[in-house]
Structure 1
Amino acid sequence: MQVISGAMEKEKIHYQAPDSSEIPYQMGLFLDWVNDNQEIDPVLKAAIAHFWFVTIHPFDDGNGRISRTITDLFLARADEMPYRFYSMSAEIRKQRKSYYDILEKSQKSGLDITDWLEWFLDCLKAALIHTEKMVSTVLQKAAFWDKHRLVSMNERQIKMVNLLWDGFNGKVTSSKWGKITKCSADTALRDIQDLIAKKCTAENKRRRT
């Protein structure tokens, strides 16, 4: 099995997987290692398991998805918690290009996977930072609505305030407000002025109308 990219007759071989006859033996070694309770940091075990499985490349398709699932499984075990807010799989997909670059480099480096481990830990850190920001925003949004629970707002205003908290990009103008809520520019302007008068736009300056 080869991992190839490029047009026909200009293909680039990124990785040569083990011969199919070797797969059962290689998977046996992998599963024995996975089920062994050796003393190894569980996060590093997640990184090694991901790299090992995707390097064996036992299937024609889906090896990457299964590797990411294995990663999330080991990280869940490492957390020892019934729930998780971060997703390593999502972060790997966001960093897809650097992921494939480091895989190719590490798979050609023999038994030294130090660069892969460093990349994996950096990726995990990015996933945690992203989740921390997301959770912080959710808590701020909940606090905002709790503070303004008695403030009267119409459906358009509620929709736009939620949109602002959920990451609306750019400055909100009456024309944008009107297009999103399907109302006239004059109605949009009145909605905005009403929120300003009720002091419902000052909690987060980056989200102000």
Structure 2
Amino acid sequence: MLYPTPALSADDARVLAEIDRMRASLRHQVRSAPAKWTAGLRKFLTADAVAASNSIEGFKVATVDVEDLLEGERDVEVSEENREETLAYQRMMTYIQTLHDVEDFSYSKGLLNALHWMLQGHRHSARKPAGQWRRGPVYVTDARDPSIAAYTAPDAARVPALMEELVDWLNAEDGTHLLVRAAMAHLHLVSIHPWADGNGRMSRSLQTLLIAREGVLAPEFSSIEAWLGRPGNTWEYYRELTDRGSKYRPDQDVSAWIRFNLTAYHQQAQTVQGRLDRSGRVWGALTEFTQSAGLDERTVTALHDVAMAGRVRRSRYEHAEGLSLQQAQRDLRDLVHARILEPVGRTRARYYTAGPHFPEQALDIARTPMTLTHPYTD
């Protein structure tokens, strides 16, 4: 038995309608914006989702470092464990993103286990097999006292039947709004806890997959994992899951879980909209600056990364603009000579930050924080 999908309240319906309008507006804006700087935004959002979801599980890697790792950078100062977890999650998320427009797509137990192998294959062991249902009990321990089980998942013998029921539910059309179904899919999977490890990230990824399959926004713009990874929101996330009880009880009202997710969708849409607006204004300010300074227009890409992320690496600039190694090195050397950029580190590990002549207007725009509204209380 799975949790029944609750009916929406009038407030829920209003918030959901606002989310739909924001996502439609974002879709139009993304499609009409220059591809060069929306490509950078897509990469940032993917890296931010990976960094946030991993951080919930205790793997702490800054978004800017995740971006570098996703670009293939080897000289990033992170532990080997964090590097492996980041790249594994990125591989799984990349595959999920490619599934957004597959015409003959269907959910299956095989697909879910394959995704789990991508995520946990590097940790496969007899005790914690990857890509296979767990063979024993699994517990979610209390964050304050690991000797206390905050949640005990269903018995392992029940997992195959529960997962078959979930797959049937995923493949059925019941007229429920896709965002609500995605939230319910997350709750179903995390409650069944079918694997020995990696259940949280798999559940959040399944939610992302359902939203991406809707096709309203590109997959990179669809995830709420970055929102869930913010410290205060992570605490609320755990509280919402804990409120479901210490054991699997699907015969209960989960309206609060839906409200929590609608808040996440709403505020994540606000966040992406704010970053999109800010990114465009920074790009415009830097375009004016490069023209007045007699710089090649392509250097805006490097300067934009510095303004928005705090730094740029030569390889990232080289790939973004399709340059040769020598061209990228020459551009960055010229920007350093003009004191627009400052180099940090040596040889392969080198990156560039804002120098004393970097345009302050662009930095001011990039550093101005936005204000989020709460859809149920503001």
TM-score grouping bracket, smaller chain normalisation = 0.7 to 0.9
1:120 aligns with 2:256: no
**1:201 corresponds to 2:361:** yes
Aligned with 2:203 (options 67, 71, 82): 67
Give the match for residue 171 of structure 1. none
Q: Is the 8 A contact 2:278 2:366 kept in 1?
A: no
Query: One-letter code of the match for 1:58?
Result: P
How far off is 1:164 after superposition?
7.4
State the partner residue of 1:166: 308
Whether the 8 Å CA contact 1:72–1:88 is kept in 2: the answer is: yes
1:201 CA displacement: 3.2
Summarize the Cα distance change of 1:205–1:99 in structure 2 as closer, same or farther, 3 Å threshold.
Answer: closer
Secondary structure of 1:181's partner?
strand
Q: Which residue of 1 aligns with 2:238?
A: 100
Write out per-residue CA displacement over residues 78-137 of structure 1, whole angstroms, 9 at most, x where no aligned residue.
244445425312211222111111111024674210111100110111111111111111
Shift of 1:141: 1.3
Within the alignment, does 1:54 sit opposite 2:215 as a pair? no
In 2: Cα distance, 1:159 partner to 1:37 partner: 44
* Number of equivalences: 182
Instruction: Give the structure 2 partner of residue 29 of structure 1.
Output: 165
1:80–1:128 CA distance, 2 compared to 1 (3 A) = closer
Correspondence for 2:271 among 124, 130, 149: 130
Are residues 106 and 79 of structure 1, via their aligned partners in 2, closer, same or farther at CA, if it must alter by over 3 Å? farther
- Residue 46 (structure 1) shift: 0.2
Aligned partner of 1:175 in structure 2 is none
Q: Who is 1:13 aligned against?
A: 149
1:172 counterpart residue number: none
Amino acid at match of 2:238: Y
Once residues 44 and 81 of structure 1 are traced to their aligned partners in structure 2, the CA distance between those partners, rounded to angstroms, is 16
Residue 181, structure 1, aligned to residue 342, structure 2: yes
8 Å contact 2:211–2:222 — kept in the other structure?
Answer: no
Partner-residue secondary structure (3-state), 1:166: helix
- Secondary structure of residue in 2 paired with 1:15: strand
> Is contact 2:162–2:192 with CA below 8 Å preserved after alignment?
yes
Select the structure of larger CA radius of gyration. 1
Structure 1 residue 69 displacement after superposition: 0.8
**Distance (Å, rounded) in 2 between the aligned partners of 1:205 and 1:88:** 25
Q: Which runs of 5+ in 2 are unaligned?
A: 1-137, 311-338, 344-354, 369-378
1:206/1:33 Cα in 2 relative to 1: closer, same or farther (>3 Å)? closer
Residue of structure 2 equivalent to 1:149: 290
Query: Distance in 1 between the 2:201 and 2:307 partners?
Result: 32
CA contact (8 A) 1:4 1:12 kept: yes
Structure 1: segments with no counterpart, 5+ residues: 169-177
Q: Is the 8 A contact 1:201 1:207 kept in 2?
A: no
Aligned-pair CA distance for 1:7: 4.6
Asked if 2 retains the 8 angstrom alpha-carbon contact of 1:50 and 1:71, the reply is yes
Indicate whether 1:2 and 2:143 are aligned.
no
% identical equivalent positions: 22
SS in 1 for 2:166: helix
